[in-house]
Amino acid sequence: MKPMIVNTLSMYIPTTQTNIDMELKGKERIWEKYQKEIPLNDYYYARSCIRQNFWPGSEQTFIRILQDELGKNILDEKHHTTCSGIAYHCDVVPLETTMTIVARQFSLMSESGYKHFVPSCITSFGVYTEILETWHEFPEIEEKIRKMLSEATGRTFDKPEFLVHPSDVIYALRNEILQKAKYRLVNAKTGEPLKCVDHIGCHYAKMFPEKGVGGAEFPHVLVGMIEAWGGEVVDYPERRTCCGFGFRQYMVQANRGYSIACTKRKFDSMESYKPDLIVTNCPGCPYFLDRWQYVIAEMEGKVYTDDGYGIPVLTYEELAGLVLGYNPWELGLQMHQVSVEPLLEKMGYEYDPTDKYVVGDKNINTRPETPNILKIFNHGEKE
């Protein structure tokens, strides 16, 4: 099916008056420059290591929205693996290893008859993009990798016609999602738009700005979703700063100060804007934005919201799922350390708070321990 070119500006829905005209015009100029061709169907889905572990509901929701809500064709097959991106950026595997594993993924895509490759992870998206660009500039390297893949596995591959991130896809389909919306990103009591911080994974557009919707400086991929669904985007001075994953700077305990310091810098900067939620399009980012709030609360007694629960951190699928009125516990919101219920309350969301920690059909009543400082919603009782 021929992909449609998405005119990002024609879908722009003007919102509140907080952006002065000039700011908006200036940003629109940039968004116009960084339009991206996003195919609207027939996707080969390559899952993300971190998301599969920590946000499995998000990946399932992506498939559910595309298949069940929008009737799209997306292949979720079982033979694909990690792209090795984390290992690559921890520098523990050679460049050729990652390139060959990527080539294997493309081989799986080709043999399934698909041409639109959609990697669930942002680091993957960066790795795939970087590798395709490198092969384009150095065709002898592509040749070498083809030989290596063949030697190791007997496989051949075609390169994808399109490489897009799932957040690009949700972005391109945000108005279709709006058509089926049960909720808007609006405070149900006051009618005010919810204040949303958008956090873009570094590997989405910093390496190749033209491969990201809106470019590297003022990306539009999450802004478009937030504003289409009724929310208000909050810009703050440390918006473009990395969440602080740092790969080996997190994985090794001795280095972890880097990671938490980086994330804390962002929280300190966004706090005075009183955001209602943070939405991100990277797997690792929500993990750090979520967990480090807990750690900062326990270590320093500091919570970034007045109610003591912290700022809820969502993936874009969780955000879309809420707009569509899905069961939060199918979305996987119970996987978050920072409770998302304050947001649900603000939205006037209909849900069963007591179902949060219920698992299995025997209704096993399990509960996590509660932290000392960070407040947690637990079985509908605020603690």
From the number of C-beta atoms within 10 Å of its C-beta (0-12, 13-18, 19+), residue 176 rates as: middle
Which sign does the torsion angle of CA 341, 295, 280, 187 carry? positive
Residue 345 CB, nearest approach to other proteins (Å): 19
Q: Taking CB under 8 A as the criterion, which residues in 307-326 touch other proteins?
A: none
Is residue 363 close enough to count as binding other proteins by CB under 8 A?
no
Q: Which is nearer to other proteins, 181 or 251 (CB)?
A: 251
Contact range with other proteins by CB under 8 A, out of 3-11, 286-294, 312-320, 340-348: 286-294
Q: Which residue, 188 or 206, is less far from other proteins as judged by CB?
A: 206
User: H or E element: which one contains 377?
Assistant: strand 377-378
Q: Closest CB to other proteins among 184 and 220?
A: 220
CB of 188 to other proteins, least distance (A): 26
Q: What's 176-203 look like in SS3?
A: HHHHCCCCCCECCCCCCECEEEEECCHH
Site for other proteins in 175-194 (CB under 8 A): none
Closest separation in Å from C-beta 2 to other proteins: 28
Stretch that binds other proteins, among 10-18, 36-44, 198-206, 310-318 (CB under 8 A): 198-206
Residue 136 CA to residue 141 CA, distance in Å, equals 9
Q: Verify binding: residue 370, other proteins, rule CB under 8 A.
A: yes
- Note whether 203 binds other proteins by CB under 8 A: yes
The CB-of-215 to other proteins minimum distance in angstroms stands at 7
Q: Determine, following the binding rule CB under 8 A, whether residue 257 of this chain makes contact with other proteins.
A: yes
9 Cβ contact partners less than 8 Å away, ≥ 6 residues apart: 28, 31, 32
Does 95 help bind other proteins (rule: CB under 8 A)? yes
Residue 286: partners with Cβ closer than 8 Å, 6 or more residues away? 54, 55, 278, 280, 313, 314, 315
Q: Is 14 in the site for other proteins (CB under 8 A)?
A: no
**Binder to other proteins among 38, 169, 225, 242 (CB under 8 A)?**
242
| Residue 364: strand pairing partners | 359
Q: Is 302 near other proteins (CB under 8 A)?
A: no
**DSSP type of residue 368:** P
**Between residues 70 and 87, which has the closer beta carbon with respect to other proteins?**
87
Measured in whole angstroms, how far is the alpha carbon of residue 239 from the centre of its chain? 15
